[in-house]
Amino acid sequence: MGLYDAFRDKPFQTAYGENKTAVTVDVLEVGLILAFVLLAFSFFVVLPGFRHRERLYVAIRIVVSLFIGAVIILSNFGMEWEHADIETTTLYKAFSGKEINAHIAIKIGLRGVNVTMKGKPDVNVRLDNNTVEKVDYNERFHWNSPWAQGRIGFGPFAGKINRDFREAQFKGLPYAILWIAEYFTIDGENIRWGRSYRMAGFYTHICLWTAFATWLITLILFFVVISYASLFLGITGSIMVLGNIIYGTLRWGPDLVIPFNSHAKLEPTYGWCFYLSLLTGIACIILAVVIYVIDLFNPTVTASFFNIDILTTFEDEVIFKTTGGGEDDEGDREPNGDAQEMRPVEGNANGEPRVGDGEEHYGNVEV
């Protein structure tokens, strides 16, 4: 007996079967949130370098700016524009007559649909051949890459979600997951849920990417001209709201209802991605109006809050008049109340006639 032969009955190395880990979180969403948290942390590190009230102003600007950007990105890649969940009894999978109690959930995003199935109350099920499986599935079916409907059927030129559905059939996924995914592969008459969700997701994600670009421009303009920055902030919010309107109107046909029995039906409703994008867009519009009005009537307040030089937004215009005699000249004064120095306009070196007495000449001087 060798040193490493204990508990082995085969003349080769130990081999273990698969031990797959069920999905716990959406890795992409967590990664995006972590990215914005790290950005916020890197900005907060420099806050002690600011004094008193200015430190509070900088913190507010950081939080609001990064929050808007995070909402745009999370709404774009999030999987809860619509969601629904039920607990029901359903057949498990092919070649097994076993019925299980399961919690089934569906989450619809701009790029696909996510289906979750978890056994209740036990997570393990004993099949007909006495094998034990853990019922904890999380599958995603995409309709992007590319954003095209494709040919009818499930071949190599079919749409992405049709090909994902056929692959799931070959994998032998549970009936409940295949039943839900099949609803998005039907494309005929007025039953075109996959097509309508794909088109709504396509145009909405374009709006969100456009809003992300205008958000970046807004951040730059807040260091230059406040009035222009407020206008672009309003444009950002308007585009986000437009994305919600497009998503809600491009889904034509009957409402999606996926029945499992007479008492259990999946009826998706708007999720947190939809409402977060909508409310943030409205908040951006309101905030843009407030900033624009304050900057219009009291620019020193906005200049102090955003820490910019107020003189960059001002242009002084001084008007000069020739001396022509008369009492009207005594009333010509500068905006600060001091009388202007008025001089006649002389002729040029070429002997051209100069402006006569009594005629007005205006000159603009930019400060």
> DSSP per residue over 139-204, as a string?
EEEE--SS---BBSSSSTTB-HHHHHHHHHHHHT--HHHHHHHHTTT--BTTB-HHHHHHHHHHHH
pLDDT at residue 241 in the model:
97
- d(C-alpha 7, C-alpha 4), whole Å: 9
The count of residues in the chain is 367
Asked whether 152 and 146 are in contact (CB, 8 A), the reply is no
Handedness of CA 262, 268, 269, 271 (dihedral sign): positive
pLDDT value for 48? 87
CA angle 149, 155, 159 (to 5 degrees): 15
Query: Are residues 203 and 196 in contact, defined by beta-carbon separation less than 8 angstroms?
Result: no
Residues in CB range of 261: below 8 A, 6 or more apart: 88, 89
Smallest CA-to-CA distance from 281 within 239, 231, 227, 248 is with 239
Strand ranges, E, within 208-328: 258-259, 265-266, 269-270
305: which strand partners?
A: none
Nearest to 230 by CA among 293, 309, 282, 303: 293
Give me the residues of the chain with pLDDT under 50, please: 326, 329-332, 334-335, 337-351, 353-367
Q: What is the per-residue pLDDT for 139? A: 92
- Decide if 320 contacts 361 (C-beta within 8 A): yes
Q: How far is CA 302 from CA 58, 116, 216, 292, 310, in A?
A: 13, 49, 20, 9, 9
Query: What was the pLDDT predicted at 5?
Result: 65
CA separation for the pair 301, 271 (Å, rounded): 38
Q: How many beta carbons lie within 10 A of that of residue 322, not counting itself?
A: 17
Instruction: Give CA–CA dist 356/91, Å, rounded.
Output: 102
pLDDT at 360: 44
Other C-beta atoms lying within 10 Å of the C-beta of residue 95: 9
What pLDDT score does 181 carry? 94
Distance CA 165, CA 169 (A): 6
pLDDT at 58: 92
